[in-house]
Amino acid sequence: MKIAGILLAAGAATRMGRNKLLVSLDGETLLRRAARRALAAGLDPVLVVVGHEAEKACAEIEGLGCRAVPNPDHASGINTSLSAGVDAVPADSTAAVVLLADMPWVSADMISAVVARHAETGAPVVTSRYGDTVAPPTLYARSLLPELRGGAGEGRGRQVVRRHAKVAAVVDWPASALADLDVPDDLERARARLEGEVADDR
C-alpha cells in the first residue's frame, strides 16, 4: 500500500498580512513543519502544491525530499490546488492524504493514524474529527480522486466526504488540535501555547 500526501500550500493568506506559511513557529516555518511531519508519517511522495510566492515556498522544502507541484491558478481558490495535487499523484499510489499547511498541531502520529484506519477498515474515505468539526488530514482512496478534480472555489474535499459519509471512517482528535493560523492573533496564540508546553515540560 503506497499512500501519497497532498499538502496544500498555494494560497496568499491575505488575512495574515503576509505569507503565513513562511512565518516561524518553534524554529521553523509552518510550511516546513507540515512537510516534515507528512514525510515522518511515511507518506510517499509528499506533493506540496505551491502558488503564491512559489519560489520562497520551494526554498523552504528544499532538501526534505518533497516534490513541489505548481498551481498557476491558485488565486481561483483552494479547489484548484486540490486538483493540481490530485493530478500529480503517481499511478501506483493506492490513496492520498490531503493536508493543510496552516494546521500546526497536526502531528506525524495523527497522519499515521488516518492511514492505519484505512488499512484496518478498507474505508474509501478516512477523515479527522475535532469535536464536532471534520477537517484534514483526510485520506481518499484512488477510486475517489477523480471527484476531487476540477473547478474553482473551495469545499470540494468536504463535499466528497459528505457524499461518501455512509462508508467513511473517522479518527477523533481533541478540539484543541484543530486550530489553524489565519490572522496575526492566531500566530501569537500558537507561540504562547508552545511556550506553555515547554514550561510544563520543565
CA neighbor of 5 nearest in space, from 60, 44, 57, 40: 44
What does the pLDDT read at residue 201? 40
Which residue ranges form the domains of the chain, and what is each CATH number?
Answer: 3-201 (3.90.550.10)
What does the pLDDT read at residue 182? 67
Give the separation between CA 67 and CA 64, rounded to whole angstroms.
9
What does the pLDDT read at residue 189? 76
**What's the distance, Cα to Cα, between the start and end of the chain in Å?**
41
Structure letter (DSSP) for residue 31: H
Looking at residue 90, its amino acid is P
pTM more than 0.85 = yes
- Give the Å distances, CA to CA, from 130 to 61, 84, 96, 171: 28, 27, 20, 9
> pLDDT in tens for each of the 202 residues of the chain?
899 999 999 986 666 656 778 887 788 899 999 999 999 999 999 999 999 999 999 999 999 999 999 999 998 999 999 999 999 999 999 999 999 998 889 999 999 999 999 999 999 999 999 999 999 999 999 999 999 998 778 889 999 999 999 999 999 999 988 876 666 677 677 777 766 554 344 3
Give me 160's grid cell.
466528497
What does the pLDDT read at residue 196? 59
